[in-house]
Amino acid sequence: MAIQTNSDCWGSIREEPLNIENISRSKNESTAIVYFFHGSGSNGHDIKTWLKSVCNEEFSFPHINVIYPDAPLQRYRLNQNMESNVWFNREDLSETSKENKESVNKMCKTVLKNIEEEVAKGTPYNRIVLGGFSMGGALALHLAYRFNKPFAGCFVISSFLNNDSLVYEALDADSNAKKLPLIQLHGESDTLIPLKSGLNLQKKLGERGVNVTFKSYANTDHEIVREEVVLLKEWLLNTLPPL
């Protein structure tokens, strides 16, 4: 049930507030937040519904608010320059292509502004986890490892980074960023972002000192499966335990 479309590209991001209407609120008073970023061509409601269908229950926690933002609608090169809901643009779904740094930076600025608003409301950075599926995972890596914010952790599912990524540059320059724990999940039969791309990401992050927990899944394409969700929920509860 892969929701993400085969698309990624050029075009300017519209300057607009981040849509965060899609939220799974904690049953009690929230003491932590998880940002779950969807893949290209999708939206927050889609991935929220997808996670629920995988495990026949909502992806929720007693003390954690899970936020599923919507990417802005913008022209996307891998979608024949037609408009699509994407976090940033790409030339190709390959590590060897050049990263669209301007596009990535604009989106990071928008999302960080929203995160800063949540921190101002009372949730500290060390009680916030960033993560996502495919392109959403790549966005999470940029936010987690480039901006010197003491987030609690990061997770990515079926994601990759360009070899010239600003994430690697930031890790080369800042040893503190490496302390942020990361869990990386990838399907061994992924036909959109091959397993080798996920392994390359693990290798490059590990070489820079990031403590990566990597898990691959047999007979899994570009999708989210129950086993991944179960492991992710366990990891999140260990990373953001009740206070």
63 is an active site residue:
no
Please, are residues 63 and 32 in contact by the beta-carbon 8 Å criterion?
Answer: yes
Complete DSSP assignment for 88-153:
S-BS-SSTTSPB-HHHHHHHHHHHHHHHHHHHHHT--GGGEEEEEETHHHHHHHHHHHHS----SE
Q: Is 155 exposed, middle or buried (0-12, 13-18, 19+ CB in 10 A)?
A: buried
Of all residues in the chain, what percent are helix, strand and coil, respectively (each to 5)? 35, 20, 45
Please, are residues 108 and 139 in contact by the beta-carbon 8 Å criterion?
Answer: yes
Query: Of 26, 159, 190, 197, which residue is the catalytic one?
Result: 190
Enclosing H/E stretch for 23: strand 23-24
26 is an active site residue:
no
Query: Of 38, 142, 186, 222, which residue is the catalytic one?
Result: 222
Q: At what angle do helices 226-239 and 44-55 cross, to 10 degrees?
A: 100
Query: Of 24, 30, 134, 159, which residue is the catalytic one?
Result: 134
174 is an active site residue:
no
- The tokens 């969700």 sit on which residue? 229
Could you tell me how many residues make up the chain?
Answer: 243
Residues taking part in catalysis: 134, 190, 222
